[in-house]
Amino acid sequence: MANIKSFTNSLIGENTYIVYDNTGECAIIDPGMYTAFDQNAVVNFVNSNDLQPTLLLNTHCHYDHIFGNKFIFDNYGLKPQFHKGELEVLMAAPAWTAQMGLQYDLSPLPEVYLPETGTVSFGNTTLELIFAPGHSPAHLCFYHRKKNFLVGGDVLFRNSIGRTDLPGGNHQQLIDNIKEKLFTLPEDCTVWPGHGPETTIGYEKRMNPFF
């Protein structure tokens, strides 16, 4: 059965996730590691649990979610997988980070792009793809039906939603996707967001001021 481990990175509090199961295989999702401290936290967890990273997934390609793509590639030989509609966002990362004075190691390009619907699998774990653009042009969420959790990226936060003022953002599209694709998940589904603490679908339906 799948488990999830979260790591909050030093730079703007981005959350990186490792989803793993009893086969020892794991997926690394949104590696935003910026410092050696952040990188070591992930590597130490992988090593101490005898895990074998077999998938590198990006919910979307804003720079804070891809800082560690090159590091994961260098250490585990994994190229990122995301929806092709995020490629333009990935390609804009060097300019964004340079403008902010941040060091960015170029992410490798995918060999495999993810579709809007379908699944990705590793070990004995299957994650369902949920296409929920609005924060970014082709944002995906990853849902584990058996354990009832969602790695949601920057779509839905505790008491908030993803910002929509960046290129490719669309406020109404984001609201509609949350209502139609996330709020139809079980009330007790745990949402692991790209920033901040986890929440549940039921809590957000009742308490989120955007709805």
Tell me, which fold does domain 3-207 have in CATH?
Metallo-beta-lactamase; Chain A (3.60.15)
Is 19 within 8 Å of 26 (Cβ atoms)?
Answer: yes
pLDDT (0 to 100) of residue 167 = 86
The maximal CA–CA distance of the chain, rounded, in angstroms, is 44
Nearest to 33 by CA among 107, 124, 120, 139: 107
The values of phi and psi at residue 66, to 5°, are -125, 5
* Residue 83, pLDDT above cutoff 90: yes
Q: Band of the pLDDT at 11, cuts 50, 70, 90? A: confident
Question: Tens digit of pLDDT for each residue in 111-169?
Answer: 999 999 999 999 999 999 999 999 999 999 999 999 999 999 999 999 999 999 998 99
Strand ranges for the chain from DSSP E: 3-8, 15-20, 25-29, 52-57, 80-81, 119-122, 125-131, 140-144, 149-153, 156-157, 160-161, 190-193, 199-200
Q: pLDDT (tens digit, 9 = 90+) per residue, 87-104?
A: 999 999 999 999 999 999
